[in-house]
Amino acid sequence: MAETIFKNERSPIRSPAARGELAAILSPLGEQVFFEQYWNKKALYLSGAEDKFVGLFDRTAFDLAIHTCADLKVGFTDEKGWPGHFNIKPEQIEESLAEGKTVCASVVDPGNPALTAFLQRIRSQFAVAGRFFFNAYLSPNGGGFGLHLDHHPVSILQIEGKKRWWYSPEPALRQVVTNISFPENRDVLKLPWTTVERPREEDLYEVVLTPGDLLYLPKGTWHRAQAIGGSLGVTLALESMPPLELIQAALLPHLSSPELRSQLPGYWAASMEGGMPAEFGDLLASALVELRARVSSISVSQLCEIWNEIQAKTLIDVRKSQ
């Protein structure tokens, strides 16, 4: 297990990239080129100097983060080829690594000043109604998550060790409701909202990430990974507001009418054998008329204004915490 135990002493941050300066993170690619050609459009691999992210995170920070992260789990592939995961306790990490499983600490930040400062600085450089957060992944030799795509964009920052990645150059799905994992023995997955086909292996790009490297994957991009000798990396993810939540935010201040707020009645069970009472249908019809009227009164420009208000408020909250 020596290859997965990165017991480095905490190092001071020496690089602007490790502080969250976007221009330094994307160097030598310019920020404008990134947003015009890659952001939300296609994957990007950037090779970086070995010390690019020094001081941001390491195995010592990982060992602290496992006690405060939102979720601690391991990833694996079962006997039928399905990717899976389950939650573990911190004391089960070494056993999990010995079994070849990747350990993921989701939403790591509390108690880590370097990560907190990084997230605050990154957030201040984006206009988005949402939040950035870090997940940390510790993998033994050969460990890594199987083929899947995420419903949000991610940027993988390689911290220690090496990891081989396979990924599609462009998103397979532009509109993604949830993360999708592909089992080894299936070529087509039928989901309630779409049907997806397994990407051809020859169409996937392949790259080995070493310390200082970055891999950006837009939402809906297929990818899988496998550690070489052991790997520690952090994934910067963006979780933003979907249209439905934005519309709800616009509607809520105007949904105080009795047709929508008055509680629906209950009925004697025996009386329901002949169907729903007519008055019940009338109540629902009135509610729908009211709701449709409110929805039709909302314009795209109003939604844009509310989006701007939400993202501006989030940005102010971030600056106050700095």
Asked whether residue 232 falls in the same domain as residue 261, the answer is no
Q: How many Cα atoms sit within 13 Å of 220 on the Cβ side?
A: 15
Domain stops at, among 191, 208, 240: 240
Written as six digits, the tokens of 91 are: 């004391």
What is the model's pLDDT at position 95?
94
Domain stops at, among 208, 240, 272: 240
**DSSP letter assigned to residue 28:** T
Confidence label for 186 from pLDDT (cuts 50, 70 and 90): confident
Q: pLDDT for 92-136, tens place per residue? A: 999 999 999 999 999 998 778 899 999 999 999 999 999 999 999
What is the model's pLDDT at position 2?
39
Instruction: Find out whether 100 and 142 touch, Cβ atoms under 8 Å.
Output: yes
Confidence label for 249 from pLDDT (cuts 50, 70 and 90): very high
Residue 311's SS3 state is helix
DSSP characters over 59-79 = HHHHHHHTTTSSEEEEEEE-T
Domain residues for the domain of 65 are 2-240
Number of domains in the chain: 2
Q: pLDDT for 264-305, tens place per residue? A: 999 999 888 888 899 999 999 999 999 999 999 999 999 999
Confidence label for 10 from pLDDT (cuts 50, 70 and 90): low
Q: Which residue has the tokens 């995961």?
A: 85
Full-model pTM? 0.88
Asked whether residue 11 falls in the same domain as residue 69, the answer is yes
Mean pLDDT for the stretch of residues 181-195: 84
Q: pLDDT for 303-315, tens place per residue? A: 999 999 999 887 7
Task: Name the average pLDDT for the chain.
Answer: 90
Residue 184 has pLDDT above 80, yes or no: no
Asked whether residue 232 falls in the same domain as residue 154, the answer is yes
Confidence label for 177 from pLDDT (cuts 50, 70 and 90): confident
Instruction: Find out whether 222 and 279 touch, Cβ atoms under 8 Å.
Output: no
